[in-house]
Chain A
Amino acid sequence: MDPMKVTTTHDPQVEADRILQGVWTKIAGVVLIPVDPVRIASELGIDVFSAELGGDVSGAIVKSEDTDATILVNQADSASRRRFTTAHELGHYVAHAQDPDEYKYVDYRGELASQGSDPEEVFANQFAANLLMPEAEVRKWYAKGLGLVEMAFEFRVSQEAMTHRLTNLGIPFGE
Chain B
Amino acid sequence: MASDAEERIDRLSREIQEGKQPEGARPEAQDDLKWVDYAQDIKLKRRYANGLLTLLAAQIVIANVLVYLYAGIGRSWDVPTGVMQAWLAATVIELIGVVAVVTRYLFPRRS
Stretch touching chain B among A4-12, A35-43, A90-98, A161-169: A35-43
Given A56-B1, A70-B13, A72-B9, A39-B31 contact (CB < 8 Å): yes
In the complex, whether B35 has a CB less than 8 A from a CB of chain A is: yes
- Identify which of B5, B8, B28 contacts A73 (C-beta below 8 A): B28
Given A38-B30, A47-B16, A64-B13, A54-B8 contact (CB < 8 Å): yes
In the complex, whether A14 has a CB less than 8 A from a CB of chain B is: no
Question: Chain A CB within 10 Å — which of B2, B14, B17, B28 has the most?
Answer: B28
Q: Are A54 and B36 in contact (CB under 8 A)?
A: no
In the complex, whether A88 has a CB less than 8 A from a CB of chain B is: no
A138 vs B9: C-alpha distance when bound (angstroms): 34
A166 vs B96: C-alpha distance when bound (angstroms): 48
In the complex, whether B104 has a CB less than 8 A from a CB of chain A is: no
Chain A contacts of B8 at CB under 8 A? 51, 53-54
Q: Are A67 and B30 in contact (CB under 8 A)?
A: no
Chain B contacts of A67 at CB under 8 A? 17
Q: Are A49 and B43 in contact (CB under 8 A)?
A: no
A77 vs B55: C-alpha distance when bound (angstroms): 53
Taking the nearest CB of chain A, how far is it from the CB of B98, in angstroms? 26
Chain A contacts of B1 at CB under 8 A? 54, 56
Chain A contacts of B26 at CB under 8 A? 49-51, 75
A71 vs B13: C-alpha distance when bound (angstroms): 8
In the complex, whether B6 has a CB less than 8 A from a CB of chain A is: yes
Q: Are B24 and A38 in contact (CB under 8 A)?
A: no
Chain A contacts of B27 at CB under 8 A? 47-50
Taking the nearest CB of chain A, how far is it from the CB of B89, in angstroms? 41
By a beta-carbon cutoff of 8 Å, the part of chain B in contact with chain A is 1-2, 4-6, 8-10, 12-14, 16-17, 22, 24-31, 35-36, 39-40, 42-44
Interface pairs (7), CB distance under 8 Å: A38-B30, A49-B12, A53-B8, A53-B9, A106-B2, A106-B5, A106-B6
